[in-house]
Chain A
């Protein structure tokens, strides 16, 4: 069994071993306080010139990674909190996402921006954001969110070996999740799309990253009540491919989307819009529902954290309500 954190490390190890043009750069890469067990001793194994810990300069490291990508490298720039990555938004959104298109295309830009999502731990408003929907809004920026150890490893590899800028977001609350890893599969992100991770017939629950785990936990409890949910893990939220979801909802007639980010303009609303605008009329048996973070910055106080973060119970309750 390999946990999610170590699986990310295996992805890095595979890339650094097999592709000399791969390197990683970012603040905190040599410190487990920042990157957990996802990069342990990579600097010792592959050298500090390919696993580069940096000054506190997110904008420069991201731009530098982009520049290196234009000159034949496959950099993975890392921000140990999404919140810190926000200092690099010009390079990600104005530059990387648009570079190929605004210069007429055919420009390979193999840049991965890895940002780590933190939740809870009384860390508060500026250390707990995920903001994946924000990045998914941008044409030209692929956004991937692994929810399993295998995806954590293989989507990292696919992201780095492709030719587009990719935002890769892993979630600290998943680091201990274990799985037997199959042999490495090198796929193209073009072929990656939402996946059914648990089949069911009564309703469709869609999640991404940590909320896929929550949905699976909720589905186990719902099963005991005789409700069989089909769980779909989004995996890639830009470009968003909803065929699997539409097919599933056509069968179940019910849709709940669970997203660990805010509601307004979020991916949950987008999935619901895609389904409701494309599904055959009459197939829906209930109004689709979304479960998201409440519309407030993350608090620190533990009593407020308890109500802030989504629980499997919240999903179970919502589903029971929908099935009435």
Chain B
């Protein structure tokens, strides 16, 4: 089989010197692409704000940043409707913000304030925004894969057209529960979309040290689940591919497995770049920065004439202002009262 279409190999998608050109905008609405670009910028800048405050010590809780790999969240969020159920993991700030989660509530959660999206009880690794269909993100690797599968089962039992989404990493496919979940979803034809953000690393270990093949799509193929592998830094392709998969699942077409190939610019946890983790990482990071999802979408929109550098600069100023205001507010917010520790143990 041609490498490009094999479920086992990422082919050029894992090559940091490939895929640097502006992306193809195709027939996507320019207006919605512009708002998605601005959303990408907001996520990037919000996480940079978090990184700075991890560095200066204001944030104490562990933060896993998605800087550089924000695009898959945008692709999925573009198609999420009322009734859907989305689940994430430890690296989920981008999922939360792409779905429309409130900035101040995110910052407040990370600072342990009562105004946080989880009332200050969970921190960065436990985000929830029910009004935006985000049911929960948790840091036990693989834990939300079966939970998303079960949400899809509930939708199917209800006979509605809602779907469930499980965001997971390339490390999470190493947990046995992935295989059990894919088998369930496949045999029961459940409306669930598994989105693997394959950033080639699970904490300090490159995928080459952990798996015999670098594409996780082979697991979908083994369970007869339709799969798509895409450049995870190409927002347009992500929007297109997830759209097709989600529409298919909504009309009883069963599960879909999407592998978005991407890269995180910061270390596994915290603000640093972790250049010391393996020779491969320091060599590749500079290359991946040239595959920036934001830059590639922006350049394509400029070339297209739909958007200008000037407009982007203005938008950035507004985003900075929003982030600053949300951060100030979160810093001023109150900590939970002591009794909150016990009030929430049982429903």
Interface residues of A (CB under 8 A from B): 28, 30-31, 33-34, 53-60, 83-84, 87, 121-127, 294-297, 299-304, 307-308
Residues of B168-204 at the interface with A, using a CB-CB cut-off of 8 Å, are: 171-172, 174-176, 202-204
28 A-B residue pairs with Cβ-Cβ distance under 8 Å, sorted by A, are A28-B203, A30-B205, A31-B204, A33-B268, A33-B269, A60-B176, A84-B141, A122-B60, A124-B121, A125-B122, A125-B126, A126-B138, A126-B139, A127-B125, A294-B341, A295-B342, A299-B112, A299-B120, A299-B341, A300-B120, A300-B126, A301-B123, A302-B60, A303-B338, A304-B112, A304-B120, A304-B338, A308-B341
| A30 in contact with B204 (CB, 8 Å) | yes
Contact status B171-A55, CB under 8 Å = yes
B201 CB, nearest partner CB in chain A, Å = 11
Assess whether A294 is in contact with B342, with CB atoms less than 8 Å apart: yes
What CA separation (Å) do A127 and B203 show in the bound complex? Answer: 16
Query: Is B140 on the interface with A (CB-CB < 8 A)?
Result: yes
Q: What 6 pairs across the A-B complex have the smallest Cβ distances?
A: A301-B112, A300-B123, A122-B61, A55-B174, A303-B335, A55-B210
- Dominant secondary structure of chain A at its interface with chain B: loop
Query: In the complex, which of the residues B113, B174, B176 contacts A301, with contact meaning CB atoms closer than 8 Å?
Result: B113
Asked if A307 and B341 make an inter-chain contact with CB atoms under 8 angstroms apart, the answer reads yes
Interchain nearest-CB distance for A103 vs B (Å) = 25
Q: Are B120 and A296 interface neighbours, CB within 8 A? A: no
Looking at the complex, which one of A56, A126, A307 makes contact with B202 (CB distance below 8 Å)? Answer: A56
Residue numbers in B under 8 Å from A28 (CB-CB): 203-204
Q: Is A123 a contact of B141 with CB atoms below 8 Å?
A: no
Contact residues on B (Cβ < 8 Å of other chain), bracket: 35 or more
Q: With a CB–CB cut-off of 8 A, which chain A residues contact B210?
A: 54-56
B204 contacts A33, CB within 8 Å?
yes
How many residue-residue contacts, CB under 8 A, span A and B?
A: 118
List the B side residues contacting A296 at CB < 8 Å: 341-342, 344-345
Does B142 touch A at the CB level, under 8 Å? yes
* B340 interfacial contact with A, CB 8 Å: yes
- Specify the main secondary structure of chain B where it touches its partner: loop
Q: What CA separation (Å) do A301 and B209 show in the bound complex?
A: 36
- Residues of B within 8 Å of A127, CB to CB, are 62, 125, 139
Given contacts A31-B203, A296-B342, A301-B336, contact A56 B61 (CB under 8 A): no
Name the distance in Å between B291's Cβ and chain A's nearest Cβ.
25
A56 touches B174 (CB 8 A): yes
A121 x B340 contact (CB < 8 A): no
A280 to chain B, nearest CB (A): 39
The answer to whether A59 and B335 touch across the interface, beta carbons within 8 angstroms, is no
Q: Tell me which residues from 99 to 150 in chain B have a Cβ below 8 Å from any Cβ of chain A.
A: 112-113, 120-123, 125-126, 138-142
The yes or no answer to B211 lying at the interface (CB within 8 A) is yes
B176 touching A59 by the CB < 8 A rule?
Answer: yes
Least Cβ–Cβ distance between B222 and chain A, in angstroms: 17
State how many angstroms separate the Cβ of A37 from the closest Cβ of chain B: 16
Q: Do A301 and B172 contact each other (CB < 8 Å), given the known contacts A30-B204, A121-B62, A294-B341?
A: no
The residue among B338, B340, B341 with the most chain A CB atoms within 10 A of its own CB is B341
Is A124 within 8 A of B123, CB to CB? Answer: yes
Q: With A and B bound together, what is the CA distance between A30 and B204 in angstroms?
A: 8
A28-B203, A126-B138 are contacts. A302–B112 as well, Cβ < 8 Å?
yes
Known: A299-B121, A301-B336. A121 touches B142 (CB 8 A): no
List 8 additional A-B contacts (Cβ < 8 Å) besides A56-B172, A125-B121, A300-B123.
A30-B204, A34-B203, A55-B202, A121-B61, A122-B112, A124-B139, A301-B336, A303-B335
